[in-house]
A and B are shown apart, each in its own frame.
Chain A
């Protein structure tokens, strides 16, 4: 729960060294400076975690931009190529603060951390959801950074080689059309999205979706869906608008008819799945071949067939 992604913090450290002027900016920092900070995180990182008992773990992180650059997606993979660590994270700027969302389904936890500074090299972050925790700090040094907890220390530096991504074990690609009403719009949205759903890790109830503008290829939104004891969690990041949401859903294996509640950053009614089709049996092991997402002001219909 308290393990802040090493690669992410390594990138923070780099930014803190490379862009001190932008780090001093106020909450209303210009977009360019925020985007520059985010871009500075992109790359590969080698990290070491030393536990209090002397155990040393190595991991390789990779951070890539999604959308227009204010949101990033990071993957942490074992340096040995298998087993732990195996988690993902998002970093982005929204609501005048930096947001960090770590997703670790294999360890059955996730958290949202924020920093109220406009600078991406803060001295302190706090975990604000699902349980508050603000007792961790990290320190910058001229050529590295260190993050310290009572029982472990993480140390990261930029890698010279790209560890690459673990290829997803299964993949499903759907074509999505949207209908939206409100704010002067009514009816179909003239945008077709290509939604790619994959399973990052075998044996773990976890799948990821990335929707791209079918014309431009730009990522519109990305999300994760994973199971925790007693419930299912959805983390969605809209790379173009900066909106993000953590939602709780039913633990039922079949998504069809399930309704979801947005639990963070604001508790509110969420969305519902409808018309979910599977090729064999419903569940995390079988990615949907069709689905409809229902919101209060519209819906999005995705299927394996062109619409």
Chain B
């Protein structure tokens, strides 16, 4: 009761507003919260097996309150300090264990309780609680949690998206790139699967990276330039289109598996360019051709007028009528060949023929893209895949990529990295590709010889 009276006094003094309604009773090593004048909903020991600040906030508000004019915390009953220290210390230990299990060795060490001061421990627990249970801001997007294709862990995903440029072309480039990378059977980091997201901006990916632990990274393609043109021949049209694009890879980096990710660009391709030249035959219909030839002839031939006069003589009547009579009637027929009219008709037919087979200005037809651009974008995607230089499983080597339009394309050959015997020359793969290169250093992953050595290793040999 003495304790209760002291706490009531504390509350009535108006100090420690945050803890004003909390009465704390320490009995036999347990702390039971109760409201002044209100029955406590439940009472029990403070948990020591959770990395959390739960149940402790109000207690610590009272604990750390320094009611004026006091310069020191309010005096606490005996054993309180050691009990709270024990609770917070145990929770910190739990935080450390969880962080270590998640691979955050440095964070785990930082969360080991080192100080006996309750205030310091409390601050440390608040920090470690935030590390273990990050308060991820509510995201308007849908999180990713696909079932794994291989293994039993959550399925990592790599998005393929675009940044700026023509939406239709970007969509096709993203689609082709994804299909090619899938068809080739490349081994991607952490068994990730590719998800094309042509409507996403890099910002959308950043949001997903922050909120979804399954997000591994994103391939961001950009169309840096595009052009098209055409020139007319007599019965054909020669058209060309050229597209240049680049690809970046943004890895979603986390210091721990469950932490909010931070996207970072870690790889960029060179500019991949491709062009296509099409010759489109513009067949003239026979009628248009005849008319055109006729018009051409008439253009140079003089205009001719044919005139025919026909005289019809009537017999003379007897006696002569008082009003006279028509003795004869002359009828004249004239025909003029008009070249300009014929030329107009021919031009009209010809124009309709040209319009029917026209394939010019392929890049301006929105929102779809024409066959020539479609084909060119496939070449750009193939070029980008080649620059990624991912290793292929042997069974998939020499694969060909196919699309609904255009011929089959041979998959780019793998150029092995330097460092292993005959593979003395070569180039590295993109970071999202896994490759069988035992010459990688420790920081790049790879199987360790410890897989064929006992564990623990024998003592070092001097």
Q: Indicate if the CB atoms of A267 and B434 lie closer than 8 Å.
A: yes
Residue in B420, B422, B442, B449 with the greatest tally of chain A CB atoms within 10 Å: B449
A166-202 toward B: CB 8 Å interface, digit per residue (1/0)? 0000000000001110101111111100000000000
Of the candidates A236, A264, A296, the one whose C-beta lies within 8 Å of that of B446 is A296
Given contacts A189-B461, A245-B447, A249-B394, contact A268 B434 (CB under 8 A): yes
Residues of A close to B150: CB separation below 8 A: 128-130, 132, 263-264
Question: In whole angstroms, how far apart are the Cα atoms of A251 and B434 in the complex?
Answer: 19
Spot the interface stretch: B183-191, B245-253, B298-306: B183-191
Q: Tell whether B5 is near chain A: CB-to-CB under 8 Å.
A: no
Q: 1/0 contact trace for A213-233 toward B, CB 8 Å?
A: 100001011000000011110
A241-B451, A300-B452 as given contacts; A269 in contact with B394, CB under 8 Å: no
The minimal Cβ–Cβ distance linking A271 to chain B, given in whole angstroms, is 5
The A282-297 residues at the B interface (CB cut-off 8 A) are 293-297
Any chain A CB within 8 A of the CB of B38? no
Closest chain A CB from B270 CB (angstroms) = 24
A144 sits at the interface (CB 8 A): no
Known contacts A190-B458, A248-B394, A296-B441; is-contact A180 B453 (Cβ 8 Å) = yes
The answer to whether A30 has its CB under 8 Å from any CB of chain B is no
Known: A238-B455, A267-B434, A272-B436. A248 touches B446 (CB 8 A): no
Residues of A within 8 A of B452 (CB): 178, 211, 220-221, 236, 238, 293, 295, 300
Known contacts A191-B453, A236-B451: does B440 contact A269 (CB below 8 Å)? yes
How far, in Å, is A216 (CB) from chain B's closest CB?
10
Is the Cβ of B438 less than 8 Å from the Cβ of A296?
yes
Chain B residues near A250: list those with CB within 8 A. 394
Task: Report whether A248 and B393 are in contact in the complex, using a CB–CB cutoff of 8 Å.
Answer: yes
Q: Is the CB of B453 within 8 A of A259?
A: no
CB of B460 closer than 8 Å to a CB of A: yes
CB distance from A260 to the nearest CB of B (A): 5
Q: How large is the interface on A (under 10, 10 to 19, 20 to 34, 35 or more residues)?
A: 35 or more
Chain A residues whose CB sits within 8 angstroms of the CB of B460 once the complex forms: 184-187
For A264, A294, A299, which residue has the most chain B Cβ atoms within 10 angstroms? A294
Contact in complex: A268, B151 (CB < 8 Å)? no
Q: Collect the chain A residues with CB atoms within 8 Å of residue B321's CB.
A: none
Contact yes or no, A220 B421, CB < 8 A: no
The answer to the question of B230 belonging to the interface, with a C-beta cut-off of 8 Å to chain A, is no
* A180 CB, min distance to chain B CBs, angstroms: 5
C-alpha gap A106/B435 in the complex (Å)? 29
CB-contact partner of A269 in B190, B421, B437, B455, under 8 A: B437
Q: Is A262 an interface residue (CB 8 A)?
A: yes
Q: CB distance B187 to A267 under 8 Å? A: yes
- Choose among A126, A261, A298 the residue that contacts B393 (Cβ–Cβ < 8 A): A261
Q: Report the nearest A residue to B433, measured CB to CB.
A: A267
Cβ of B14 under 8 Å from chain A:
no
Alpha-carbon distance between A178 and B454 when the two chains are bound, in angstroms: 11
Return B340 CB to nearest CB of chain A, in Å: 72
Q: Counting CB contacts under 8 A, is A243 at the interface?
A: yes
Pick the residue among A97, A259, A297, A298 that contacts B437 (CB under 8 A). Answer: A259
A186 to B461 Cα, complex, angstroms = 8
A20 an interface residue at 8 Å Cβ cutoff? no
Give Cα A263 to B434, complex, Å: 10
* A187 and B150 alpha carbons, distance in the complex (Å): 37
CA A188 – CA B459 in complex, angstroms?
11
Chain B residue contacts of A231, Cβ below 8 A: 393-395
* Contact indicator A261/B440 (Cβ below 8 Å): no
B455–A295 touching, CB < 8 Å? no
B394 touches A274 (CB 8 A): no
B residues near A, CB below 8 A?
Answer: 147-152, 187-191, 391, 393-395, 416, 420-423, 434-442, 444-455, 457-461
The 3 closest A-B pairs by CB, nearest first: A230-B395, A241-B455, A298-B449
A-B contact sample (5 more), CB < 8 A, given A178-B452, A260-B436, A269-B437: A129-B150, A213-B454, A267-B189, A269-B436, A296-B449
Binding site for B on A (CB under 8 A): 97, 114, 116, 126, 128-130, 132, 178-180, 182, 184-191, 211, 213, 218, 220-221, 229-232, 236, 238, 240-243, 245, 247-251, 257, 259-272, 274, 293-300
